Amino acid sequence: MSKPTDLVQGTLDLLILKILALEPMHGWAISQRLKQMSSEVLQVSDGSLYPALHKLEQEGWITSEWKPSENNRRAKFYSLTRFGKKKLDKEAANWSRLSAAITHVLKLTEA
Amino acid sequence: MNRLVRWASAMRMRLHCLLQRKKIEQELDDELQFHLQRQIEEYTAQGVSGEEARFAAARALGSLQQRKDECRDMRRLNWIDHLIQDLGYAVRTLRRSPGFTATVVLTLALGIGANTTIFSLINAILIRPMPFKDPGRLVLIWHKWKTIDAPFGAVSAPSFVIYRDEAKSFDHVAVVKGWSVNLTGEGEPEQIQGFLASAEFFPVLGVKPVYGRLFQESEDKPGANQVVVIADSLWKRRFGSDPNIVGKAVTLDGSIYRVLGVMPAGVELPREVEMWAPIGFSAEDLSERNHGNENYLAVGRLKKGISIQQAQAEMDGLTLAVRQRFPKAYPDASGWAIRVSSLENLLVGNFRLALLVLFGAVGFVLLIACVNVANLLLARATARHKEIAVRMSIGANRTRIIRQLLTEGLLLSVLAGTFGVLLAFSSAVIIRNTVPTEVTHFQANWNRVGIDYNVFAFTCILSLLTAVIFGLAPAIQASRIEVNGSLKETRGTTHNGTGRNGGRGFLVTSEIVLVLVLLVGSGLLIRSFIRLQAVNAGFRTQNVLTMRTSLPKARYGTNAQRASFYQRSLQQIEAIPGVDSAGVISQLPLARSGESYGSFHIQGFSLGKEELPPHGAYRIASPDYFRALGIPLIRGRFFTEQDTATSNPVAIIDDEIARRYWPNGDPIGKHLAFYAERDGKEPFWREIVGVVGHVQHLGLDVESKMQYYMPSLQYEPSGQQNMFFVVRSIYGPQSLIPAIRNVVRQLDQDVPIYRTKTMDEVVSDSLAERRFSMILLTIFAAVALILTFVGIYGLIAYSVCQRRHEIGIRIAIGASQSAVLRLLVGRALKLSAIGISIGAGLSLALTRVMTGLLYDVSVTDPLTFAAVGVLLAGVAILAAYLPARKACRIDPMVALRYD
Q: How far apart are the first and last CA of chain A?
A: 28
Which residues partner with B251 through β-bridges?
B184, B256
How distant is the Cα of A103 from the closest Cα of chain B, in angstroms? Answer: 33
CATH number assigned to the domain comprising residue A45: 1.10.10.10
Q: Residue A51's domain spans which residues? A: 11-110
Contact between residue B466 and residue B108 where contact means Cβ atoms under 8 Å apart: yes
Tell me if B140 is assigned to some domain: no
Above 60 in pLDDT, residue B495?
no
Find the CB nearest B31 among A27, A47, A83. Answer: A27
- The burial class, CB within 10 Å (0-12 / 13-18 / 19+), for B125 is buried
What pLDDT shows up at residue B493? 44
What pLDDT shows up at residue B166? 92
A69 or B370: whose pLDDT is higher? B370
For B268, B358, B359, B447, B776, the CA distances from B451, given in Å and listed in that order, are: 22, 18, 16, 11, 19
User: Do residue B60 and residue A46 have CB atoms under 8 angstroms apart?
Assistant: yes
Contact between residue B583 and residue B567 where contact means Cβ atoms under 8 Å apart: no
User: Do residue B34 and residue A66 have CB atoms under 8 angstroms apart?
Assistant: no
User: Do residue B34 and residue A27 have CB atoms under 8 angstroms apart?
Assistant: yes
| Contact list, B30 vs chain A (CB under 8 Å) | 74, 76
Above 70 in pLDDT, residue A7?
no
Average pLDDT estimate for B49-74: 78
Tell me if the bond preceding B270 is cis, omega within 30° of 0: yes
Contact between residue B800 and residue B886 where contact means Cβ atoms under 8 Å apart: yes
Tell me if A80 is assigned to some domain: yes
Q: How far is it, in rounded angstroms, from Cα A57 to Cα A52?
A: 9
Q: How far apart are the first and last CA of chain B?
A: 69
Tell me if A84 is assigned to some domain: yes
Q: How far is it, in rounded angstroms, from Cα B130 to Cα B388?
A: 55
Query: Within this chain, do residues B802 and B832 fall inside the same structural domain, yes or no?
Result: yes
Tell me if A5 is assigned to some domain: no
Query: Within this chain, do residues B156 and B252 fall inside the same structural domain, yes or no?
Result: yes
| Interface predicted TM-score (ipTM) of this complex, two decimals | 0.83
Contact between residue B798 and residue B380 where contact means Cβ atoms under 8 Å apart: no
Contact between residue B800 and residue B807 where contact means Cβ atoms under 8 Å apart: yes
Tell me if A3 is assigned to some domain: no
Average pLDDT estimate for B499-518: 82
User: Do residue A45 and residue B62 have CB atoms under 8 angstroms apart?
Assistant: yes
Q: Quick one: DSSP state of residue A42? A: B
Find the CB nearest A55 among B41, B61, B74. Answer: B74
Low-confidence winner among B215-229, B364-378, B670-684, B735-749 (lowest mean pLDDT): B670-684
Q: How far is it, in rounded angstroms, from Cα B442 to Cα B348?
A: 8
Average pLDDT estimate for B862-878: 93
* Per-residue pLDDT reduced to its tens digit, B93-136: 888 888 889 989 999 999 999 999 999 999 998 888 888 888 88
Q: How far is it, in rounded angstroms, from Cα B196 to Cα B160?
A: 14
User: Do residue A46 and residue B30 have CB atoms under 8 angstroms apart?
Assistant: no
Pairing label, strands B190-197, B255-262? unpaired
Query: Within this chain, do residues B702 and B783 fall inside the same structural domain, yes or no?
Result: no
Chain A's closest residue to B37, CA to CA, is: A28
Find the CB nearest B71 among A54, A69, A83. Answer: A54
The residue type of B324 is Q
Average pLDDT estimate for B746-762: 89
Low-confidence winner among A43-52, B315-324, B407-416, B430-439 (lowest mean pLDDT): A43-52
Query: Within this chain, do residues B742 and B773 fall inside the same structural domain, yes or no?
Result: no
> How many domains would you assign to chain A?
1
Q: What share of chain B is helix, strand, coil (3-state, %, to 5)?
A: 55, 15, 30
Element housing B10 (H / E): helix B2-19
User: Do residue A76 and residue B67 have CB atoms under 8 angstroms apart?
Assistant: no
What pLDDT shows up at residue B486? 61
Structure confidence at residue A41 as a pLDDT band (50, 70, 90) = low
B704: nearest Cα among B597, B621, B800, B599: B597
Question: Model pTM?
Answer: 0.77
Query: Within this chain, do residues B640 and B709 fall inside the same structural domain, yes or no?
Result: yes
Q: Quick one: DSSP state of residue B714? A: G
Low-confidence winner among B497-511, B706-720, B816-830, B840-854 (lowest mean pLDDT): B497-511
Query: Within this chain, do residues B585 and B700 fall inside the same structural domain, yes or no?
Result: yes
Chain B's closest residue to A51, CA to CA, is: B71
Contact between residue B451 and residue B425 where contact means Cβ atoms under 8 Å apart: yes
Query: Within this chain, do residues B52 and B172 fall inside the same structural domain, yes or no?
Result: no
Q: How far is it, in rounded angstroms, from Cα A51 to Cα A54?
A: 5
Count helices and strands in chain B by DSSP H and E runs: 28, 21
Average pLDDT estimate for B621-629: 95
| A to B CB pairs, distance under 8 Å | 71
> Which residues, at least 6 apart from B33, have a Cβ–Cβ distance to it below 8 Å?
none
B830: nearest Cα among B556, B433, B380, B508: B508
User: Do residue B74 and residue A51 have CB atoms under 8 angstroms apart?
Assistant: yes
Structure confidence at residue B18 as a pLDDT band (50, 70, 90) = low
Chain B's closest residue to A56, CA to CA, is: B74
Query: Within this chain, do residues B318 and B454 fall inside the same structural domain, yes or no?
Result: no
Q: How far is it, in rounded angstroms, from Cα A60 to Cα A66?
A: 17
Q: Which of B717, B749, B781 is where one domain is finished?
A: B749
Count helices and strands in chain A by DSSP H and E runs: 4, 3
For B101, B336, B503, the CA distances from B468, given in Å and listed in that order, are: 17, 58, 17
Helix-helix angle B21-45:B50-61, to 10 degrees: 130
Q: Quick one: DSSP state of residue B860? A: T
> Which residues, at least 6 apart from B307, have a Cβ–Cβ distance to it below 8 Å?
none
Query: Within this chain, do residues B236 and B326 fall inside the same structural domain, yes or no?
Result: yes
User: Do residue B27 and residue A71 have CB atoms under 8 angstroms apart?
Assistant: no
User: Do residue B31 and residue A74 have CB atoms under 8 angstroms apart?
Assistant: no
Contact between residue B735 and residue B710 where contact means Cβ atoms under 8 Å apart: no
> How many domains would you assign to chain B?
4
Above 80 in pLDDT, residue B228?
yes
Phi–psi pair at B850, nearest 5 degrees? -85, -5
> Which residues, at least 6 apart from B377, have a Cβ–Cβ distance to it below 8 Å?
B104, B409, B470, B471, B474
Q: What is the mean pLDDT of chain B?
A: 86
- The burial class, CB within 10 Å (0-12 / 13-18 / 19+), for B689 is buried
What pLDDT shows up at residue B500? 52
Pairing label, strands B707-711, B615-621? parallel
The residues on B that touch A, with CB distances below 8 Å, are 2, 5-6, 9-10, 13-14, 27, 30-32, 34-35, 37-39, 41-42, 60-62, 66-67, 70-71, 73-76
Q: How far is it, in rounded angstroms, from Cα B396 to Cα B768?
A: 59
User: Do residue B31 and residue A60 have CB atoms under 8 angstroms apart?
Assistant: no
| Contact list, A74 vs chain B (CB under 8 Å) | 30, 34
* Per-residue pLDDT reduced to its tens digit, B4-13: 776 777 677 6
Element housing A36 (H / E): helix A27-37
Count of beta carbons in the 10 Å neighbourhood of residue B633: 14
Mutate to test the interface with A, among B38, B64, B75, B77 (most CBs of A within 10 A): B38
Half-sphere exposure at residue B189, Cβ-oriented, CA atoms within 13 angstroms:
22
B109: nearest Cα among B367, B359, B369, B456: B369
* Per-residue pLDDT reduced to its tens digit, B819-851: 888 888 888 888 889 999 999 999 998 888 888
Contact between residue B728 and residue B581 where contact means Cβ atoms under 8 Å apart: yes
Structure confidence at residue B676 as a pLDDT band (50, 70, 90) = low
Above 60 in pLDDT, residue B499?
no
Tell me if A6 is assigned to some domain: no
Average pLDDT estimate for B21-44: 83
Q: Residue B868's domain spans which residues? A: 351-533+768-897
Tell me if A4 is assigned to some domain: no
Structure confidence at residue B75 as a pLDDT band (50, 70, 90) = low
How distant is the Cα of B392 from the closest Cα of chain A, in angstroms? Answer: 23
> Which residues, at least 6 apart from B220, have a Cβ–Cβ distance to it below 8 Å?
B198, B199, B278, B279, B280, B281
Element housing B388 (H / E): helix B385-393
Query: Within this chain, do residues B498 and B608 fall inside the same structural domain, yes or no?
Result: no
Query: Within this chain, do residues B606 and B651 fall inside the same structural domain, yes or no?
Result: yes
What pLDDT shows up at residue A5? 45
| Contact list, A51 vs chain B (CB under 8 Å) | 67, 70-71, 73-74
B276 or B615: whose pLDDT is higher? B276
What pLDDT shows up at residue A28? 86
Count of beta carbons in the 10 Å neighbourhood of residue B468: 15
Alpha-carbon B617 to chain mean position: 31
Which residues partner with B729 through β-bridges?
B579
Torsion of CA B642, B648, B649, B651, to 10 degrees: -70
| Contact list, B71 vs chain A (CB under 8 Å) | 50-51, 54
Secondary structure of B498-552 as H, E, C letters: HHHHHHHHHHHHHHHHHHHHHHHHHHHHHHHHHHHHCCCCCCCCCCEEEEEEECC
Mutate to test the interface with B, among A28, A56, A62, A87 (most CBs of B within 10 A): A28
Structure confidence at residue B573 as a pLDDT band (50, 70, 90) = very high
Q: Which of B55, B75, B95 is where one domain is finished?
A: B75
User: Do residue B34 and residue A28 have CB atoms under 8 angstroms apart?
Assistant: yes
B84 or B247: whose pLDDT is higher? B247
Q: How far is it, in rounded angstroms, from Cα B598 to Cα B148?
A: 10
Tell me if A99 is assigned to some domain: yes
Find the CB nearest B71 among A31, A51, A75. Answer: A51
Query: Within this chain, do residues B242 and B273 fall inside the same structural domain, yes or no?
Result: yes
Above 70 in pLDDT, residue B484?
no
> Which residues, at least 6 apart from B617, have a Cβ–Cβ distance to it below 8 Å?
B595, B596, B597, B598, B697, B704, B705, B706, B707, B708
Q: Which of B303, B335, B367 is where one domain is finished?
A: B335
